[in-house]
Chains A and B, each alone.
Chain A
Amino acid sequence: MKSEPEKPEPSGKRAQPTRKIRESAALLPLLGIFLLLTPLISAFTQDSFTGGIPKAVSYIFGIWIGLIVLAAILARRLYNSGDG
């Protein structure tokens, strides 16, 4: 009895995030380009150190791993929603 009224809900709910996720997946590289390929990068890469590591290194590698994590989350969501 319980499963029946619940049935339409997931499909209706899923349609919304999938679209958002697809759009996010499409926009992620633009975010990467904005952070890595614009003069923005110079603002964060002055000659200084944080925790013994040059800021430039931590900035670039930080953005890099951030993109990877986001891509992994999105890929998983896309894969699970059957749209991979």
Chain B
Amino acid sequence: MQSFNLLVSICLLYVAALFVIAYVAERGVQEGRLNFLRSPVIYTLSLSVYCTAWTFYGAVGSAARSGLEFVAIYLGPTLVFVGWWWFLRKLVRIGRTQRITSIADLLSSRYGKSNTLAVVVTLLAVIGTTPYIALQLQSLTLSFFVFTGGSGEGTSTPFASVTAFWVAAGLAVFTIVFGTRSLDANERHHGVVTAIAVEAVVKLIALLSVGIFVVWGVASGPADIFERMDQDLLQSSQIFNGRWVTLMFLSAAAIICLPRMFQVVVVENSNERHLATASWAFPLYLFLMSLFVLPIAIAGQSELPADANPDLFVMTVPLAKGQGTLATLAFLGGFSSATSMVIVAAIALSTMMSNHIVLPIWLQLNKKRSPASDDVRTLLLRTRRISIGVVLALGYFYFQITGGSDALASIGLIAFLGVAQVLPALLGGVFWHSATRPAAIMGICTGFFFWAYTLFLPSFDGAFILSQSVIENGPFGISALRPQSLWGNSFEDPLVHAVFWSISFNTLVFVVASLLTNPNSMERQQSAQFINVYGRISPSSTIARNAEAEELLILAQRILGRQEAMNLFNQTAVSQGKVSGLPDPTQPFVEELERKFAGSVGAATSHAMLAQITGGESVSVEDMIAVADETAQIMEYSERLKTQSEELKKTAQQLRAANSQLLKLGEQKDTFLSQVSHELRTPMTSIRSFSGILRDSDSLPPEKLKHFSSVIHTESIRLTRLLDDILDLSFMENGKVQLNIAPVNLSEVINRAATATETQLQERSSELLRNPASEQIKVATDSDRLAQVVINLVANANKYCDAEPPQISVSCRRNGGTVEIDVADNGSGVDESEVELIFQKFSKLSGGFFVGSAGLGLPISREIMRNLGGTLTYEPGGAGALFRVTLPLEHTEPASA
């Protein structure tokens, strides 16, 4: 047996060692040394605050009473961590981007930075955690008694309360010293975390040592230990039941929702990748912690008297075997479990209380003044220290009031369920866009009410608010409302009953209220930020705020500290392109400040403080209109782009068409050139050969000489005419021809044509039939050109008509605003397939129609008519060939080619 004094000295030495470790770690990290303290191992070990004295001692007790049930308490967290990819990763990412300081802050921030919600969650956390702290104090005093020879029943003696008091006071001092050293922007406490990691190692070593001693020291191996087992202990055929599922659910919820777990998992996380390591390392830690629980319980049952307290087997088994040192180590393990839990819980709760309760009240009281005018920093630190004291004092008084009763022993799971009430709001907030603030508040309050009514208050056995008779018979004797079997539903276990009803009603109210209410603009903004946290969407930046940079600087100095605030402002000024002076209070800057402040005082308070300075809510109706306008502008712009691209498409199409036309024209030009050269070649050849004969032979008879020179002459004339025609056609096609528009009688034109073709007609003894009466039509046109067309047509008809003798008729007719001149003959006409060809330059029809001609007559005539604003067409279906000239009575400009 260790003496009490020795035990106290060991404790004090241990605590002193923790002080030193925490101090060295804090300094080391600040100075940039000891970076291994930011490693995933430290992070994982710090998570072990989950294993409190209740689990350290109580797991063995639970195993002794109900077999494997204790494993569920560890399997729940295992599943959550193994499934970190689903939820914890998102939670940690949100915590880092939004600079979350506590679970209350997370919910408040998600639901529109609502302080009401933060207060509700804070109160819930305090109510759920205080009994838990009391439980730690009780375990500590109990373990003291084990060594000092007490029976473990006398925790209500004055001596016990003195012990508990000093323990509480000592923990308060430690927490205040290392938990509130600074208002670190991210609220990380390297000293505390390192100390807790050390305690985690002590816990693990202690439990493993006792376990190994039991298995291989007391018994002779695992098989031997299980041989000693009471056959009814495991009840293995009934492992899977409502309680098994419930415990798994509760512990899984607790690992996320417990304020102290949230503190170490999310707030103290310095690198998201640490979570990847913790995803298997923390379950491994839990695995090792529970590996020897069952053997220790079995050993306790078989080795110790039947009335021994199974909760203390971890210490009493080694003690009974005379292993004082091992028992002391076990004691230190329990001591570590209790202290680490109390320290972290106190830090988490004090942060919540100061950020969400004290600071908002203070802001409210000083509404008239700008928050920049007081030292928020000092106020905050002081509040936090006082809060830590208050939390521990609450725990102590709770212990004093209920000390030693069974009520306290079962408080662990009751506290789990209490804080688990935030789970629906938390899950909804992280995954569901439509979750709203009123719904979250209502859901949590509903769950809280059912929790208190069905589990928390009945746990006092009628000593607090609910009397014994109410618990047994229901309020006013209404049995349907009996706290432990609502609506007459009898679950075998009050815990399963309470979990079922409180979580169900909580979720139901939360979901229904979310569907019935609408989130406000701030909630919408925040929910988008939370749910799309991987998408890195940037907040809308159109919201204008008017703030003085000086005021912002003062406020920043009060919250962040002088040096850091100056650094931040200088950096921003530089990034804004200013050489000196303060940065402009632009929206992004104010938002960054808000996030920075949120890391110290929480989202709601930070928002309220900046709102007080910058004047008003961040999102007003005008802002929304501005946002809407911007959207409209963007839409209009995209509409414009669309029409532009359509226009471009159309233009491209036109260009393509023009290009193909140009290609065709180019081809035509080439054909034309080759045809022209061919046509020029024929007369040129005869001219060359005849002139060659003339040059070479000196003794030609005169008649031959005459014949040859006349051939040369005729061919030259033909050549000249051809060139004239080509020139004419080219002028016509380009529209460069000069027209002498004058009124003229058609009979005059036809007379000229008849005169001009008279000799040709006589050669073939053709007959020209005219109708002089129809020719009395006056038109305004170029008479020379029109006559040229008619001459050409008559000459063609004379030349190509295959009837003997040819008869050519010319008739005129008025048709509305136009005049038609028909030139017809009595031949066989033009074959229908060749109609288009005859109008092309140099056409040679297969029927020998144009044989021996240059083939430019009809194309020139057609071009003349086009220039005169009329047409020249071939009318098929008549007896012979019929060409029709159509021209307007009044001259109009021709359509461009």
Chain A complexes with chain B: yes
A contacts, CB < 8 Å to B: 22, 25-26, 28-30, 32-33, 36-39, 41-42, 45-47, 49, 51-57, 60-61, 64-65, 67-72, 74-75, 78-79, 84
Contact check, B75 vs A36: say whether CB atoms are below 8 A apart. Answer: yes
Please give me the residue from chain B that is nearest to A41 by CB atom: B240
B contacts, CB < 8 Å to A: 68, 71, 75, 78-86, 221-224, 226-227, 229, 231, 234, 236-240, 244-245, 248, 272-273, 275-277, 279-281, 283-284, 287, 291, 294
Q: In the complex, given contacts A51-B223, A52-B226, A57-B68, what are 18 additional A-B residue pairs having Cβ atoms less than 8 angstroms apart?
A: A29-B79, A29-B86, A30-B83, A33-B79, A36-B248, A47-B234, A60-B75, A64-B78, A67-B79, A68-B82, A68-B287, A69-B280, A70-B82, A71-B81, A74-B279, A75-B279, A79-B277, A84-B276
Contact check, B226 vs A53: say whether CB atoms are below 8 A apart. Answer: yes
- Given A39-B240, A56-B236, A75-B276, verify A49-B226 contact (CB < 8 Å): yes
Contact check, B226 vs A67: say whether CB atoms are below 8 A apart. Answer: no
- Given A29-B83, A53-B222, verify A47-B236 contact (CB < 8 Å): yes
Please give, as numbers and ranges, the residues of chain A lying within 8 Å of B279 by CB-CB distance: 71, 74-75
- Given A37-B248, A42-B240, verify A29-B273 contact (CB < 8 Å): no
- Given A54-B226, A64-B75, A75-B277, verify A22-B85 contact (CB < 8 Å): yes
Docked complex Cα distance between A33 and B248 (Å)? 10
Distance from A9 Cβ to chain B, minimum over Cβ atoms (Å)? 26
Docked complex Cα distance between A56 and B291 (Å)? 13
Contact check, B222 vs A52: say whether CB atoms are below 8 A apart. Answer: yes
Contact check, B82 vs A67: say whether CB atoms are below 8 A apart. Answer: yes
- Given A51-B223, A53-B222, A84-B272, verify A64-B240 contact (CB < 8 Å): no
22 interchain pairs (CB within 8 A)?
Answer: A26-B86, A32-B82, A32-B83, A42-B237, A42-B238, A42-B240, A47-B234, A52-B223, A53-B222, A61-B287, A61-B291, A67-B82, A67-B283, A68-B284, A69-B280, A71-B82, A71-B283, A74-B279, A75-B276, A75-B277, A75-B279, A75-B280
Distance from A77 Cβ to chain B, minimum over Cβ atoms (Å)? 10
Please give me the residue from chain B that is nearest to A40 by CB atom: B240
Contact check, A37 vs B226: say whether CB atoms are below 8 A apart. Answer: no
Please give, as numbers and ranges, the residues of chain B lying within 8 Å of A68 by CB-CB distance: 78, 82, 280, 283-284, 287
Contact check, A79 vs B273: say whether CB atoms are below 8 A apart. Answer: yes
Contact check, B273 vs A84: say whether CB atoms are below 8 A apart. Answer: yes
Distance from B378 Cβ to chain A, minimum over Cβ atoms (Å)? 40
Please give, as numbers and ranges, the residues of chain A lying within 8 Å of B71 by CB-CB distance: 60, 64
Q: Which 10 A-B pairs have the closest CB atoms?
A: A52-B223, A29-B83, A56-B236, A72-B280, A71-B280, A25-B85, A75-B276, A84-B276, A84-B273, A45-B236
Please give me the residue from chain B that is nearest to A29 by CB atom: B83
Docked complex Cα distance between A72 and B278 (Å)? 9
Contact check, A54 vs B236: say whether CB atoms are below 8 A apart. Answer: yes
Please give me the residue from chain B that is nearest to A56 by CB atom: B236
Distance from B240 Cβ to chain A, minimum over Cβ atoms (Å)? 5
Docked complex Cα distance between A26 and B79 (Å)? 11
Please give me the residue from chain B that is nearest to A55 by CB atom: B236
Docked complex Cα distance between A72 and B229 (Å)? 33
Please give, as numbers and ranges, the residues of chain A lying within 8 Å of B244 by CB-CB distance: 37, 41
Q: Which of B82, B222, B237, B284 contacts A45 (CB 8 A)?
A: B237
Contact check, A53 vs B223: say whether CB atoms are below 8 A apart. Answer: yes
- Given A53-B226, A84-B276, verify A67-B234 contact (CB < 8 Å): no
Please give me the residue from chain B that is nearest to A33 by CB atom: B79
Distance from A63 Cβ to chain B, minimum over Cβ atoms (Å)? 9
Distance from B787 Cβ to chain A, minimum over Cβ atoms (Å)? 81
Docked complex Cα distance between A32 and B71 (Å)? 14
Please give, as numbers and ranges, the residues of chain A lying within 8 Å of B238 by CB-CB distance: 42
Docked complex Cα distance between A30 and B76 (Å)? 12
Distance from A82 Cβ to chain B, minimum over Cβ atoms (Å)? 10
Please give, as numbers and ranges, the residues of chain A lying within 8 Å of B240 by CB-CB distance: 38-39, 41-42, 45
Contact check, B78 vs A67: say whether CB atoms are below 8 A apart. Answer: yes
Distance from B574 Cβ to chain A, minimum over Cβ atoms (Å)? 32
Contact check, B85 vs A42: say whether CB atoms are below 8 A apart. Answer: no
Please give, as numbers and ranges, the residues of chain A lying within 8 Å of B78 by CB-CB distance: 32, 64, 67-68
Q: Which of A28, A38, A78 contacts B82 (CB 8 A)?
A: A28
Contact check, B79 vs A78: say whether CB atoms are below 8 A apart. Answer: no
Please give, as numbers and ranges, the residues of chain B lying within 8 Å of A71 by CB-CB distance: 81-82, 279-280, 283
Distance from A53 Cβ to chain B, minimum over Cβ atoms (Å)? 6
Distance from A72 Cβ to chain B, minimum over Cβ atoms (Å)? 4
Max chain B CB contacts within 10 Å: which of A39, A65, A71? A71
Docked complex Cα distance between A28 and B279 (Å)? 11
Please give, as numbers and ranges, the residues of chain A lying within 8 Å of B287 by CB-CB distance: 61, 64-65, 68
